[in-house]
Amino acid sequence: MANLYLPGIVAIAAGLPVRSVAVIGGGPAGLMAAETLIGGGVQVDLYDAMPSVGRKFLLAGKGGMNLTHAEPAEAFLSRYGARRMQIAPLLDGFGPQALRDWVHGLGIATFVGSSGRVFPADMKAAPLLRAWLHRLREAGVRFHMRHRWLGWDDAAAHGPLRFAAPHGELPVRAGAVVLALGGGSWARLGSDGAWMPLLAQRGIHVAALQPSNCGFDAGWSEHFRTRFAGHPVKAVTASFTDAAGRVHRRQGEFVITATGVEGSLIYALSAPLRDAIAATGAAIVDLDLAPGKDLQRVLDEVAHPRGSRSLSSHLQSRVGIAGVKAGLLRELVPAQEFAGPARLAAAIKALPLRLIAARPIDEAISSAGGVAFEALDQDLMLHALPGVFCAGEMLDWEAPTGGYLLTACFASGRRAGLGALAWLATAARSP
């Protein structure tokens, strides 16, 4: 063991329990696990492949650091879809209010926006991250940057961890391990999914990574793409019916891209849209371009005599359809349907937008897939690898934007940290 780099408080060659934990991954989940662990009195060494921690956290905060959401608990839980039962216990231990209180403890004030989203008072991620890292370092967490995890040195469950480090490969021993390696989106910031085969080789069930909170391709004509790429489509309602007959409906806005659509309204529907495209090759979203008017009113306005005015001027003055909305009508509705008021009104209220592919995972805000919850116990420890815990986006769950992603990452990091402390305590009492 003399050739091992042993990061714990004490490296005991005689084989006594090592009261140290290696946290691999420096995003919100890994940092929260580190804080929980250092508070439990163990030595914590955090490893990350990037030159600094929290890179995706910082980039996500550039448009306003949306930490969590202030909506009622039941509505909040519903955002986790099929995994709400697995996420609920994590949020019971560290939910939206606990997260806000924790941020306040760092000296950062928060406020609730008109949409219910919760932000730092200055809307920025950097001051929060700086204060947090200062507190972690003061508490004794040791950071090891540019250390890429390569798996284990041998087949033993607790064999040395392998890292590619600046000065060569290093084996590391620790009493427990928390993996918080992220999903597969934004690989340039460190979430590249390279850990997937390392766990699969150990017999751990990992679901394939897929884009989540992503844009979609629509196959625009050259004319429409050239004219409207980059234009926002505001004040619309999008509806989609999945294979089980469930209707998904959201109101908001999205953006036309060179290949299709993206933006908050599309992201909110991305999971069922992605699954539908995977199953059938396409998904049809109905767009209500005039959500403030019912069908009869739109029909009355469209059918109103327009005299010498053009149809475009008529639709703009009577229904408010102009610009990119008018462009969408021309792109998606056959020309002959413009001659009939009933068909045109129906298209304005339910314009069928056909989506044919999700954008690549590296363009997505987040990812679905990863370590199956069935491979973990209630403390997020791998059944197949006692003493190894998983947290954050590398778990198989997804949620829309709006603070739900960050909240669950924080909560899972805390649960994994508490689980590792409990496991170390049990191991210390074992003969």
CA 270/CA 118 separation, integer angstroms: 22
**pLDDT means over runs of 10, the chain (431 residues):** 33 47 97 97 96 91 87 95 95 97 96 94 94 97 97 75 94 95 88 93 94 96 97 96 91 96 94 95 96 92 87 90 94 88 93 97 94 97 96 96 95 98 85 60
- In the beta sheet, which residues pair with residue 388? 177
Compute how many other C-beta atoms are within 10 angstroms of the C-beta atom of residue 230: 9
- Amino acid, res. 134: H
**What amino acid occupies position 328?**
L
pLDDT of residue 10: 33
pLDDT of residue 429: 73
What does CATH list as the number for 20-212+369-429? Answer: 3.50.50.60
From the number of C-beta atoms within 10 Å of its C-beta (0-12, 13-18, 19+), residue 372 rates as middle
Say if strands 68-69 and 117-120 run parallel, antiparallel, or are unpaired.
antiparallel
Alpha-carbon span 140 to 43, nearest angstrom: 7
- Per-residue pLDDT, 4: 34
In DSSP terms, 172 is beta-bridged to 5, 161
pLDDT digits (tens, 9 = 90+) for 315-371: 999 999 999 999 999 999 998 888 889 999 999 999 999 999 999 999 999 999 999
Helices (H) and strands (E) in the chain, counts: 15, 20
Q: What pLDDT is stored for residue 2 in this prediction?
A: 31
Residue reference for tokens 């989203």: 117
- Which pLDDT score is estimated for 9? 31
The confidence score (pLDDT) of residue 31 equals: 98
Environment class of 392 (CB within 10 Å of its CB; exposed 0-12, middle 13-18, buried 19+): buried
Q: What is the pLDDT of residue 379?
A: 97
Q: What pLDDT, on a 0 to 100 scale, did the predictor assign at position 306? A: 82
The pLDDT assigned to 157 comes to 54
According to the model, what pLDDT value does residue 5 have?
32
Give start-end residues of each CATH 3.50.50.60 domain in the chain. Answer: 20-212+369-429
User: What does the mean pLDDT of the chain come to?
Assistant: 91
Say which residue the tokens 């961890």 belong to: 161
Closest alpha carbon to 419 in 365, 372, 381, 385: 381
